[in-house]
Structure 1
């Protein structure tokens, strides 16, 4: 029997049988760089003498191949591509050379240390079904999920994760640049502060007047109803008074064609007239009080 390595496979040839290939082992993912033969057991004793083929490759794996059973029995991974492998005459020690200049040397465990497993712990190799576990690195997915299933001890201090802030419907629409839908959505609510905040955001984006132009009759009725209730409020009047004037100028024809919109305009007109009357009354009161305050200040 002759073993050869080529590419990512190790092939067994029968020279006596005419040089035909008996088996091809293709368990490596990259090029096989070196192979050697080792033996298990002793020629005289309880253990029968068994031979294995050891192969190393650029994928960082060392494979142990039993060519009597034609299968890979053991596998071990190293942290660097492997270039060569060799063993001592008694097959108790092996050395593996890697591409970064490091030599990995190992010695076969004594019989009393092996215990019940005789072949599986040869040179402290892991089996194919249970390979050696890699160390965690920040590039591994398991690195970010480590210890998440652990339960806290009695003296541990728990730091709770902050709950994610849920955005309102109009905020979601603003993030998607759906300006008209955001304005209509907030007008349907009952919070005047949110409506004014959305209008100020649309003013900053220079989209408020364009939204007003694109409103249909029902949506325009919502806007006029809001202006009727809040345009005379001192904290919002600076923005809403100017907006009311623009709405009347831009949608005058639509307002004349709808009785419902005319009703909103009549209500808006009454509230503005009432506010003007109140302001005149306050100015008259101020005119009476101001001279009295001056006279009181001189004394």
Structure 2
């Protein structure tokens, strides 16, 4: 008996009885995520990989290369043969696609009703082999959006949808088609089983995906909550014109004051914060409005202390110095008398003086270093 095991980029074909590898099949360029054996030929199987491709293998081929390849367009999460053996279903991204393997890998249909990644697919069996209705199959798909979709691939339409309270990771049916199990990302399992009396009477509920009459859609009225949620999960088509609500900008307190032309209060407000970029931006706005010097002249001693403290900390920073150095000169000229009369303001000026002197010493040292390096660079350039 032979078994297939998938690994990173490699498909290994095993002899289970001897525990030996019969073949190493190469071709995938990323993790091999899933696989399925053909229902009509045990020597053929398909594998799906995160490299977006599904490969059809035939172990009877001597060179051990895939005999067919289709590109899903997204990393493959699950792949399976359909009962006829000539069709395959792939799940990846937010779509489930049906491929015609006999027709050379032609894409027959793409179901894109999920909003997030489809993680697993399986076949749901319904009908009665011994009754009037022949055995039929539908594709079940589950996704991270919490929805399970039932897809009738004969009529190419979604026949049912069910919402669960968590992202869904896997789905499967029991061999007798009586029980359906769904696994979620939070470790919960949702299982449903069809009732025997319903099977015998031919009325099978959706838990078993049996033959049911098309339910009549409930008329939505404006008094229902669901009326206001209608169409929220529908995807727009290419011809639709989207009306997007612009995002509401949250203004800072200084921006609100500027909009009300309260210039001095805006300057004091932003000086009380800890963001120098906002302070410089407000100052530049006040310069554009020709109100910065007027605001400086109207500051009281405490507010003037905030301004001098800011100048002392940031006036030597290159990206701010162009504006702040000129402002510092104007402040000293306009408020000289107030500064002389206050010991606190004098201490700010002393600190400001030390900062400027230290910056001058740094610039002089940099010029000396530049003078030493420049001749060396010119000599190196000649060589």
TM-score, with length taken from structure 2: 0.38
Greater helix proportion: 1
TM-score, with length taken from structure 1: 0.49
Q: Which has the larger radius of gyration?
A: 1
Greater strand proportion: 2
